[in-house]
Amino acid sequence: MWQAFWNFLDRGLFGPQSQRDTPLGALLRALRYPYAIIRDLVGGELNLRATGLVYATLLALIPAVALSFAVLKAFGAHRDFEPLILEFFRPIGEAAPQITQRLMQFAENVRGGLVGIVGLALLLWTLVGTVKKVEDSFNFVWRVQRARSIPRRIAEYIALLIIGPLVIAAVIAFSKLAFEEVASHGAESFALGRLLLSTVIQAAPYVIVTGLFTALYVLLPNTRVRLGPALIGALAAGFVWAATGKLFTAMVIYTSRLTLVYAGFAIVVAVLLWTYLGWLILLAGAQLAFYVQNPTYLRLGHSLLRLSHSEQERLALDVMLCIGQAHQSGQAPWTIDSLSRTLALPGIAIADVVENLEHSGLVNMAEDGRLFPARETRGILLEQIIESTRSGDNGPVAHAQISAPGVQRLQQAMENAWREACAGRTLADLVAEAAHR
């Protein structure tokens, strides 16, 4: 019954009515996005990712704050980090200031001489491992199968851990200056200035959270994320964050059973639950940004796209033709994203084909995702391209040899037919044929 309900929604939101240029069609197309997010949340994979990130967050929370303090203390701005921590734990209720103060005390007790080289290395290892888990979760959302290389990952992570606190402190400091400027020039002169100042102060935390979410959506996935979709996902996640925070605060305040059952551990349970909800909201916002940038995935979601052998072979030829044309004409190299948009197929299907072509030595992928022929196009046989789709793992046990009369002869005839059609032809020949059409 539950599956029938989801099938009904799928037919309604992706059926013929949704393709028409009518108000109903536009509404159905807009409803695809919340439907896809809810479907993915119910599917469970995002929940598992969020649960894993809760553990990683608790493991790296004090090292992250301590490192941020060490960076900000050099500029005399380490106390500017406290409001952001308080804002994160605010939905917990009255315990938020206590947790924030205790966390600040732990961070201040960490000193360079006390920690030493080994302690600093362990601290950085913990932080880098945590950021890697976050990156893996974002790569999962964005269907990225190739993670950053280890040298690039270490360099970017350390830069993020050092520059990130400085950027946050600068945003908070400039916000304070803006508030003081408005207060000194307008708030005392007329009621409108006071109202404006109050509105800006109330909106500042949400603006900072939205900006932080946008930066994470753009920087962390190992793929090109456009600013527009990232901002849309961040705005939605920021709104849900604020609404969920108010509901969570009300639940903590008015639910006395939590304290009765867990006693002194009630605060720990509240922190774990709110951290889980925070990561879940962050990942859901990233998922929305992904769907805005890649609407072809709305119906597929995280399901596996299964192509027939004939479709895989045709797709491999199409991909190699695009890459070969760009290489010979001097145009900008293709990426998996651009191929996905041009061929109107989800990127995961393109990525699987590119991976097979790369393993077969026909394609090279640069660090930034650009695709190039592994050698000159006249040296790549069409037969090799088709064989690359058959290079996947067949499993631990090979299929028994078929000995039925006529079957082997028929199979051999089909094999000879496509090899005869490709005999001696190269990718350069295919590019030339496409240019004359």
Residue 228 — φ and ψ, nearest 5°? -60, -55
Tell whether 234 and 345 lie within a shared domain: no
Tell whether 293 is covered by a domain.
Answer: yes
Instruction: Point out the domain boundary residue: 265, 297, 329.
Output: 297
Residues 203 and 344 in one domain: no
Task: Kindly state whether residues 292 and 160 are assigned to the same domain.
Answer: yes
Which amino acid does the sequence have at 301? G
Rounded CA separation 308/313 (Å): 9
- The number of folded domains in the chain is 3
Of 135, 134, 137, whose CA–CA distance to 45 is shortest? 137
Q: Examine the fold and report which residue of 237, 269, 297 is the final residue of a domain before the chain moves on.
A: 297
Q: Does residue 165 share a domain with residue 67?
A: yes
Q: Let me know if residue 302 belongs to a domain.
A: no
CB contact at 8 A, 298 and 33: yes
pLDDT at position 320 is 92
User: Same structural domain for residues 341 and 201?
Assistant: no
pLDDT value, residue 237: 92
Are 148 and 161 in a shared domain? yes
In order, the DSSP letters of 328-375 are: HHTPPPB-HHHHHHHHTS-HHHHHHHHHHHHHTTSEEE-TTS-EEESS
Q: Is residue 304 part of a domain?
A: no
- Identify the domain containing residue 53 by its residue range: 44-297
Q: Are residues 408 and 430 in the same domain?
A: yes
**DSSP for 244-298?**
HHHHHHHHHHH--HHHHHHGGGHHHHHHHHHHHHHHHHHHHHHHHHHHHH-GGGT
Q: 281 and 423 in one domain?
A: no
What is d(CA 226, CA 209) in angstroms, rounded to the nearest whole number?
A: 19
Question: In this structure, are 22 and 49 located in the same domain?
Answer: no
Residue at 162 is within a domain: yes
pLDDT recorded at residue 1: 61
List, run by run, the mean pLDDT of 10-residue segments along the chain (437 residues): 74 80 86 90 85 83 69 62 70 74 69 54 73 87 77 70 63 55 51 60 71 87 88 92 80 60 63 86 93 85 76 90 90 87 78 88 86 90 88 53 71 84 87 81
Q: What is the pLDDT of residue 195?
A: 63
pLDDT value at residue 270: 75
Q: Has residue 398 been placed in a domain?
A: no
What is the pLDDT, as a whole number, of residue 21? 82
The per-residue pLDDT for 187 is 47
CATH number of the domain at 327, please. 1.10.10.10
pLDDT of 283: 93
Would 303 be classed as within a structural domain? Answer: no
| CA–CA distance, 3 with 336 (Å, rounded to integer) | 32
**CB burial of residue 328 (10 Å; 0-12, 13-18, 19+):** middle
> 354 and 366 share a domain?
yes
Q: What is the pLDDT of residue 301?
A: 78
Among the candidates 297, 319, 345, a domain finishes at 297
Specify whether 19 is located in the same domain as 50.
no
Inter-CA distances, 380 with 46, 65, 374, Å: 41, 53, 9
Q: Answer yes or no: is 69 within a domain.
A: yes
pLDDT at residue 155, rounded to an integer: 72
Amino acid identity, residue 129? G
56 touches 130 (CB < 8 A): yes
333 lies in the same domain as 291: no
| Residue 325 maps to a domain | yes
What's at 384, amino acid-wise?
Q
